[in-house]
């Protein structure tokens, strides 16, 4: 069985801050782009470009129903949440036109394969549509969706389990981001104010930029059989340690059980991955040129 691959695009080849998949809408020959973001439970359509596409001045409903195709995969009657007063106007100059976000909810009913080194992906409705040999080679590990987030179940640092770690393709360029400074200090052996720490400015939802603090951890990060020695680990010092906002963040971390985030970075160079959320599992295998 041959796979029907489609090409995806990075925000830039150098940074790889975001992964975009092409989308065509019914009765529209143009190619638009959606960010693949498993950190979002819903799929979103930005109302600034949507007004151009539809010719409408406003959208009174929270959702907009779309028909079309993502790569080679056709979809119908898919509900996208309208993200009001967001997005950029569509350009006809050859610029990549981003019109929304493809979120976790879309993937729970489908199978997504992403071949990172070859910059291609495949969407289908069933694992049976993939080549049997590919599925046999894939090393699957358990995942669980809680509170609209995709949690990894088989991740360890050294010989100890790491709990509360999300798989978030929207935090694309990171091997691991931690939400608690103390855990970051424990894994890296740093105090967080050293001059040789790595400071990285990145875009963030609702803000132009935030600066993360990073350092190499001392040990091996393990995701099933994938091992990363002395990985670069970041944390966000902008999360308040005290005050009302700090209390909300700490309560949220406790309620939702979120300790950190893994992005696309561990798979960039060598791996293809399969999101099989119908069976609560995530798999990876070495990529090939086939």
According to the model, what pLDDT value does residue 265 have?
Answer: 94
pLDDT value at residue 195 = 86
What is d(CA 46, CA 33) in angstroms, rounded to the nearest whole number? 11
CATH architecture of 129-286: Beta Barrel (2.40)
Name residues whose C-beta falls within 8 Å of residue 35's C-beta, 6 or more positions apart in sequence. 18, 19, 20, 98, 100, 101, 102, 170
Residue 121's φ and ψ, nearest 5 degrees, are -145, 165
Fold of 6-114: Cathepsin D, subunit A; domain 1 (2.40.70)
pTM: 0.91
**What are the tens digits of pLDDT across the range 196-240?**
899 888 766 555 677 889 999 999 999 988 999 999 999 988 765
Per CATH, 6-114 and 129-286 having the same topology is answered yes
Q: Which of 7-16, 136-145, 231-240 has the lowest mean pLDDT?
A: 231-240
Q: Are strands 165-167 and 198-204 parallel, antiparallel or unpaired?
A: unpaired
Over residues 29-61, the pLDDT tens digits come to: 899 999 999 999 999 999 999 999 999 988 989
Instruction: Determine the pLDDT at residue 245.
Output: 47
Q: What is the mean pLDDT of residues 112-120?
A: 97
Residue 31: Cβ within 10 Å count: 11
Helix, strand, coil: what percent of the chain each, to 5? 15, 40, 40
Query: How many helical (H) and strand (E) elements, i.e. helices and strands, does the chain have?
Result: 5, 24
For residues 248 and 179, the model is more confident at 179
Q: Which two tokens mark 66?
A: 């779309």
CA 195 remoteness from chain centre: 30
pLDDT tens for each residue of 165-177: 999 999 888 999 9
For the chain, give every domain's residue range: 6-114, 129-286
């Amino acid at each position: 069985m041959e796979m029907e691959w489609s090409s995806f695009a990075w925000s830039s080849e150098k940074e790889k801050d975001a992964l975009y998949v092409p989308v065509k809408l019914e009765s529209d020959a143009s190619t638009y782009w959606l960010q693949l973001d498993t950190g979002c439970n819903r799929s979103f359509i930005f109302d600034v470009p949507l007004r151009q596409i539809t010719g409408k001045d406003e959208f009174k409903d929270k959702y907009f129903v779309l028909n079309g195709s993502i790569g080679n995969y056709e979809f119908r009657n898919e509900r996208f949440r309208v993200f009001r007063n967001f997005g950029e106007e569509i350009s006809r100059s050859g610029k990549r036109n981003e019109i929304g976000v493809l979120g976790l909810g879309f993937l729970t009913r489908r199978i997504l394969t992403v071949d990172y080194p070859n910059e291609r992906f495949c969407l289908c409705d069933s694992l049976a549509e993939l080549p049997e040999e590919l599925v046999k080679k894939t090393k699957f590990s358990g995942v669980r969706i809680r509170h609209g987030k995709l949690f990894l179940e088989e991740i360890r640092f050294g010989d100890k389990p790491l709990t509360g770690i999300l798989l978030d393709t929207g935090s694309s360029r990171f091997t691991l981001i931690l939400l608690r400074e103390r855990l970051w200090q424990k894994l890296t052996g740093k105090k967080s104010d050293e001059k040789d720490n790595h400071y990285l400015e990145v875009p963030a939802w609702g803000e132009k930029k935030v600066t993360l603090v990073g350092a190499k951890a001392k040990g091996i990060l393990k995701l099933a059989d994938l091992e990363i020695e002395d990985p670069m680990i970041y944390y966000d010092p902008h999360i308040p340690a005290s005050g009302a906002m700090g209390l909300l963040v700490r309560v949220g971390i406790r309620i939702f059980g979120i300790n950190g985030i893994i992005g696309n970075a561990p798979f960039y160079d060598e791996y293809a991955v399969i999101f099989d959320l119908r069976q609560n599992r995530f798999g990876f295998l070495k990529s090939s040129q086939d």
